[in-house]
Amino acid sequence: MSFDREGACRAFLRAANGLGARRAEQIWALSCTAGRLLHLGRAQRWNSAGDERVMLLAPHPDDELACAGTLIRHHVAGDQVRIVTATDGRLSGAYGFDPLSMAERRREEADAAAAHLGAELRWLGFPEGSWQSDDACAAIGRALAEMAPTILYAPSLVDYHAEHQHVARVLAAILRGTPSVEVRVYGIQVPLTPLLTNVVHDVSDLTQPMRAAYAAYATQRQATASTMRLKHYAARLYGAGTLAEAFCVMPGGLYVDLQARSPVKFRATRPRAWSDPWAALAGWRERLAWRSALRARGGLPVP
């Protein structure tokens, strides 16, 4: 049996890269712990009385994982929970799937993940990259009218992905008619940072069901790894256990106004942890502008 030197070298490099990325994550997590000393403010803790109607708008299937623990907690509390997925994720390109096959696969994954999260899935399934605002506006508007959510988890312009931002603008156009709904902005792969976070949810005790929901997205393991890292960082930064989810809560009217701002370049966390701090630093001036708006225009107080 011959020794595959080239294969062994590749395996060694992969292992070394993974070990280095884990060490980088540990360093950034320690930095988050130290960041608490800056006293950027204490975010409020989250809980539910169990009588809420909760909707999460996900631009792509798997984006809801950014709020995985929170959705599970809503379900356990007795809230009605629904995920509305705007696009079908066909442009992922993972594992060599053609677009149609990828869309079908991600629909199956979204169904499985929703079951683990205790949520009903409303699949709109617009073709990723080629949908029209008017069609999405009508479909998302119907979903909102049917449920009339008391809490709406939403993407925003504090994001690197043009399609995430597009969905946020569509939602803002719909919410002009219902400005009083409570909107909880969540970060998908771009952290809100303490500049914008005003509600934190400790999800440390929900690790197992969260990981089951993550595992449902077998085609997206690399893409979703960074959202789990953000939960680790948030726990260190806000004094939670091991995992936390951070939100920027505001009335719907303020959400509408903020999505009318000009887009700013943000940076996403990558599959490996090497460059994670840049995701928190890029676009900090825009975060400051949002912070000022929250203080001045009626959002929950940002410390």
Q: Domain 39-296 sits in which CATH superfamily?
A: LmbE-like (3.40.50.10320)
Task: Give, in order, the Cα–Cα distances in Å from 293 to each of 98, 164, 168, 258.
Answer: 44, 21, 18, 8
Predicted confidence (pLDDT) at residue 21 exceeds the cutoff of 80: no
Summarised one tens digit per residue, pLDDT across range 90-108 is 999 888 899 999 999 999 9
Summarised one tens digit per residue, pLDDT across range 29-57 is 777 777 666 544 456 677 788 899 999 99
The better pLDDT of the pair 6, 164 is held by 164
Predicted confidence (pLDDT) at residue 291 exceeds the cutoff of 80: yes
Summarised one tens digit per residue, pLDDT across range 224-276 is 999 999 999 999 898 888 999 999 999 999 999 999 999 899 999 988 888 99
Tokens of 63: 């984006």
Helices (H), 118-261: 133-147, 162-175, 207-216, 221-238, 252-258
Which residues sit opposite 44 in a β-bridge? 199
Cα separation, 223 vs 266, whole angstroms:
17
Cα separation, 277 vs 293, whole angstroms:
25
Question: What are the domain boundaries of the chain?
Answer: 39-296
pLDDT value for 14: 45
Cα separation, 253 vs 183, whole angstroms:
9
Name the range with the highest mean pLDDT among 3-17, 22-36, 228-242, 286-300: 228-242
Phi/psi-derived region of residue 133, left when phi > 0, alpha when psi is between -120 and 50, beta in every other case: alpha
